[in-house]
Structure 1
Amino acid sequence: MEKKYIIILIILGIVSVNYAQTTINEFQGRTSAEIIFKPIKKLSLSFSPELRFDEDFSIDNYHFQLQADYKFSKVFKAGVRYRFVVNPRDVKDTEYASRYGVFLKFKKEFNDFSPFLRLSYTNDADEDFKTERSNYLRYKIGVQYDIPKCKITPAIGLEAFQELSGDGLYKMRYFAGADYKINKKNSIGLDYKFDYYRTSYYNKHIVNLTYKFKF
């Protein structure tokens, strides 16, 4: 029996080493700013420029996003977004893409905790010109924690990307981060995202720094 256990452990070790060697792990940095304007009480408009960097910290592509959302109850809001993407390349012509999405979000406060759920329909999976264009349903769930007498608000959660014209679940995204409220109008956020692709040996690690300004 001991020999059988030893053989099983050896096989599992070989499989895990082989998986680690064949899985590609990509690292990406992102920095963005979000300018938020509320023309009326329940309507919010925002403009968000974003830079994405390769592993060697060179600029990968640019994103410019416009978003509008309307809070039609205490716990529900709906919105639309449009994103214009520029992918500069040294050898080939620059690539351009238009990406859009609509979403419905639920958020409810329970003491210092704020769980949320968001359902989105988009024509992209937050990719950088590396996959064929398709349509996705994105299911995002998480929770924020408002630390008493503290300006830091941490959050954790996950998001599933379901490809409508493909083989179902495309990838999973796990995230954790925190916002720091400088004052009523200014805040900064730092978060980490881990993208796990279910149909290929490929993972992506994303570190994102965001600055928010509210009029």
Structure 2
Amino acid sequence: MKNYFRRNRFFILSAFWILLFHSSLYAIDGAGMAFKVSLSGKIYHKFSFLFEEDIRPKSNFKQAEWFLTTGEVNYTFNPYVKAGVAYMLLCQYKASEELRNRYYVYASASYPIGNLSFSLRERFQSTFKTGGQHPKNYLRTMLTVSYKIGKTGFSPFVYGELFNNTGHQGNMYTERIRLSTGSDYKINKQNALQLYYRYHIFNVYDPVNYKHAIGLTYSHRF
């Protein structure tokens, strides 16, 4: 029994955590959940691919509302520096007028100090909404601090991210701040899970993201 719990501890704790917070989130206005599957693998030498499907249910959790599909190609310069380019399709359930096409490029760098790691990512994205006159362009800056807990497979993290709208006329201002904490769990060399809580500070209305959210991500590397 003890060995069973050790092998499946993250699954058990994740289920308990989601069930615990599900009722609390249901009672909070502007709260939701997110579920993601992430598949990645090597293409050639230092080039890799990433494919993700992100499903975000409605605030009442009774049906899916948003589907975010991402395809990415990235290049690893060394163990600490990476850059990539991607396309994302944002589709709202039964609302074709809300279809969005997003393109983005990014660069990230990490700096490990023992089991502690600091990571900085800069990302520029451009989103075209069906029927819209101009794309929405953002420069997103994210700082992450994580800690690897020995050989347990757990790596808790905390990060903050600024969403800076560059503006149609080039005037930049911060529309949203994202704060998150959670943990990665490495099941083995190919599979991993991530459980997190996410909080947004909105300066403008956002139809895709909730103010409070918990999420679960499954990752597989081929």
TM exceeding 0.5: yes
Partners of 1:170 and 1:25 in 2: how far apart? 20
Q: Are the aligned partners of 2:180 and 2:196 in contact in 1 as well (CA < 8 Å)?
A: yes
Per-residue deviation at 1:69?
1.1
Q: Are the aligned partners of 1:179 and 1:189 in contact in 2 as well (CA < 8 Å)?
A: yes
2:191 corresponds to which letter in structure 1?
Answer: N
Q: In structure 1, list runs of 5 or more residues that go unmatched.
A: 1-23
Partners of 2:211 and 2:46 in 1: how far apart? 36
Partners of 2:143 and 2:217 in 1: how far apart? 20
Q: Residues 167 and 68 from structure 1, CA distance in 2 versus in 1: closer, same or farther, beyond 3 angstroms?
A: closer
Per-residue displacement from partner, 1:67-108 (whole Å, max 9, x unpaired)? 11111133211111111122123xx65632211110010112
Partners of 1:74 and 1:108 in 2: how far apart? 10
Per-residue deviation at 1:167?
5.8
Per-residue displacement from partner, 1:37-58 (whole Å, max 9, x unpaired)? 1123422201111211111112
Per-residue displacement from partner, 1:6-44 (whole Å, max 9, x unpaired)? xxxxxxxxxxxxxxxxxx941121101011111234222
Instruction: Identify the residue that residue 119 of structure 1 maps to in structure 2.
Output: 122
Count of matched residue positions in the alignment of Structure 1 and Structure 2: 183
Instruction: Identify the residue that residue 212 of structure 1 maps to in structure 2.
Output: 219
Partners of 2:54 and 2:181 in 1: how far apart? 19
Q: Are the aligned partners of 1:143 and 1:155 in contact in 2 as well (CA < 8 Å)?
A: yes
Q: Kindly indicate whether residue 186 of structure 2 is the aligned counterpart of residue 181 of structure 1.
A: yes
Per-residue deviation at 1:133?
4.7
> Which of these residues, 106, 116, 127, is aligned with residue 103 of structure 1?
106
1:43 corresponds to which letter in structure 2?
Answer: F
Q: Are the aligned partners of 2:126 and 2:138 in contact in 1 as well (CA < 8 Å)?
A: yes
Q: Kindly indicate whether residue 58 of structure 2 is the aligned counterpart of residue 36 of structure 1.
A: no
Output aligned runs, 1:20-169, within 5 Å.
25-57=29-61, 58-89=63-94, 93=96, 95-124=98-127, 133-165=135-167, 168-169=173-174
Segment of structure 1 superposing worse, 61-70 or 34-43: 34-43
Q: Residues 167 and 104 from structure 1, CA distance in 2 versus in 1: closer, same or farther, beyond 3 angstroms?
A: closer
Q: CA RMSD in A?
A: 2.2
Partner-residue secondary structure (3-state), 1:184: coil
Q: TM-score, normalised by structure 1?
A: 0.78
Per-residue displacement from partner, 1:102-148 (whole Å, max 9, x unpaired)? 00101121100110000010124xx9xxxx85101001001111111
Partners of 1:32 and 1:199 in 2: how far apart? 25
Per-residue deviation at 1:204?
0.8
Q: In structure 2, list runs of 5 or more residues that go unmatched.
A: 1-27
- Kindly report structure 1 stretches of 4+ aligned residues shifted beyond 3 Å: 92-95
Identity percentage of aligned residues? 27
Q: Are the aligned partners of 2:32 and 2:210 in contact in 1 as well (CA < 8 Å)?
A: no
Per-residue displacement from partner, 1:162-187 (whole Å, max 9, x unpaired)? 11115611111101111111111111
